[in-house]
Amino acid sequence: MKKKSGVGVIGTGKFLPTRVLTNSDLEKMVDTSDEWIITRTGIKERRIAGEGIATAFMGSEAAKKALEKANLSAVDIDLIITATITPDMQFPSTACLIQSRLGASKAVAFDISAACSGYIFAMAVAYEFIKSGLYRNALIIGAEKMSSITDWNDRNTCVLFGDGAGASVLSKVDRGGILSVYMGSDGRNAPMLEVPGGGSLRPSTHETIDEKLHYVKMSGQELFKEAVRLMAEAGNKALALSGLRCSDISLVIPHQANVRILWAVAKKMNLPREKVYLNIDRYGNMSAASTAVALAEAQEEGRIKKGDIIILDAFGAGLTWGAIVMEW
Ligand code: ACO
């Protein structure tokens, strides 16, 4: 039985920097190969934002497109939430910088830090605010400049990440919209994926820089197992909360961390691979931007039609995970 929530996505947009970094470019930078990267991750190339282009710029460009699709102007927006782990600076929030770039003068703006699950967490928060009647129109943005926290000499991590931004406008809808939300966190496994330096625990010093503590540190194999287990769990729990069945799903829009993770999740959820949207080959892992860009692209490509049931599903550092079922 489908519940009608009345809050849905009314516009999506994306921004990808134009510079493409291919696997063969990476072969010249670290001891790796196109074949290793494709077979282990599914990634062929990723986008890299140039100097001076940062998260707020990419997020606002994606937001402008989402507003256009939603037929709204910036002053119609009451709430801006930006999900990012690569803010332009420690503070003010990237959401406030985006608010200023857009001229969204009536909006309240703040950031969410939930790594790759950030866009789903942002959508869940915006959903509740709109459902409660406090706000009418929300702009949620997943934007990352992962290249700014990537160690370009570390082959274990540098082949994985890319830069970009995706945005969605949420508002009241006459039918369908968000049907269920499920989220989880496990801080005990925080050390599996972190940027250990540059925060209040280890403020940046010459030593932290020399030790490269300002870059992503990752236990790939442990994360792989947790990603498969928790993305499948999130998808199944959100589906159960919606009262729908696996066979009702038209498309899964997952966080794009690794194609092997996504095939394993599809198997655990009893979903055929063709129902899993993929763009990791072109963009790599853009953390909070991945699911947001994937939703925007799936819509652009006509993969989602009115009345379709889709699931957004993500997992990331924290650990954090979450899924949202919606009727388009
Ligand atoms: N090129 C060539 N060889 C490499 C590379 C590379 N780029 N990277 C690692 N290797 C080597 C390793 O050194 C190792 O060699 P050894 O056997 O001689 O020691 C070998 O390849 C195998 O390494 P593994 O780490 O076992 O490779 P694995 O198959 O696990 O793949 C990967 C690594 C792609 C990182 C995978 O573990 C993964 O995708 N993990 C999950 C990542 C993830 O989900 N992150 C969470 C979301 S991100 C976020 O929240 C920001």
**What mean pLDDT comes out for the span 287-311?**
97
Q: Return d(Cα 147, Cα 53) in angstroms, integer.
A: 11
Residue 32, ligand 1, Cβ within 6 A? yes
**What mean pLDDT comes out for the span 197-221?**
97
Residue 113 has pLDDT above 70, yes or no: yes
Residue 98 Cα to ligand 1 midpoint, Å, equals 34
134-179 pLDDT, tens per residue? 999 999 999 999 999 999 999 999 999 999 999 999 999 998 999 9
Residue 262, ligand 1, Cβ within 6 A? no
HSE on the CB side for 264, CA within 13 Å?
16
Nearest CA to ligand 1 atom 36: 220
Residue 219 Cα to ligand 1 midpoint, Å, equals 8
Per-residue confidence (pLDDT) for residue 151, from 0 to 100: 98
DSSP conformation letters of 22-89: EHHHHHTTSS--HHHHHHHH---EEE---TT--HHHHHHHHHHHHHHHHT--GGG--EEEEE-SS-SS
Residue 160 Cα to ligand 1 midpoint, Å, equals 9
Active site residues: 116, 255, 285
- Ligand 1 atom closest to the Cα of residue 26 is 7
Residue 227 Cα to ligand 1 midpoint, Å, equals 14
Residue 3 has pLDDT above 60, yes or no: no
Residue 115 has pLDDT above 70, yes or no: yes
Per-residue confidence (pLDDT) for residue 38, from 0 to 100: 98
**What mean pLDDT comes out for the span 18-36?**
97
Residue 196 Cα to ligand 1 midpoint, Å, equals 19
**What mean pLDDT comes out for the span 50-79?**
97
**Using 50, 70 and 90 to split pLDDT, how confident is the model at 1?**
very low
* Average pLDDT over the chain, rounded to an integer: 96
**What mean pLDDT comes out for the span 252-274?**
96
Per-residue confidence (pLDDT) for residue 325, from 0 to 100: 98
Residue 318 has pLDDT above 70, yes or no: yes
Per-residue confidence (pLDDT) for residue 5, from 0 to 100: 54
CA–CA–CA angle 287, 254, 147 (5° rounding) = 20
- Ligand 1 atom closest to the Cα of residue 255 is 47
Residue 245 Cα to ligand 1 midpoint, Å, equals 34
Nearest CA to ligand 1 atom 7: 155
Residue 224, ligand 1, Cβ within 6 A? yes
**Domains in the chain and their CATH numbers?**
7-173 (3.40.47.10), 179-327 (3.40.47.10)
Pocket test of ligand 1: the residue of 55, 116, 224 to mutate, having most ligand atoms within 8 Å of its CB, is 224
Residue 110, ligand 1, Cβ within 6 A? no
- Ligand 1 atom closest to the Cα of residue 159 is 7
318 conformational bin, left if phi > 0, alpha if psi -120 to 50, beta if neither:
left
Per-residue confidence (pLDDT) for residue 206, from 0 to 100: 98
Neighbours of 24 (CB within 10 A): 12
Nearest CA to ligand 1 atom 32: 220
**Using 50, 70 and 90 to split pLDDT, how confident is the model at 4?**
low
pTM: 0.95
Residue 33 has pLDDT above 50, yes or no: yes
Residue 40, ligand 1, Cβ within 6 A? yes
Q: Return d(Cα 306, Cα 327) in angstroms, integer.
A: 8
Q: Which residues pair with 314 in a beta bridge?
A: 322
Per-residue confidence (pLDDT) for residue 288, from 0 to 100: 98
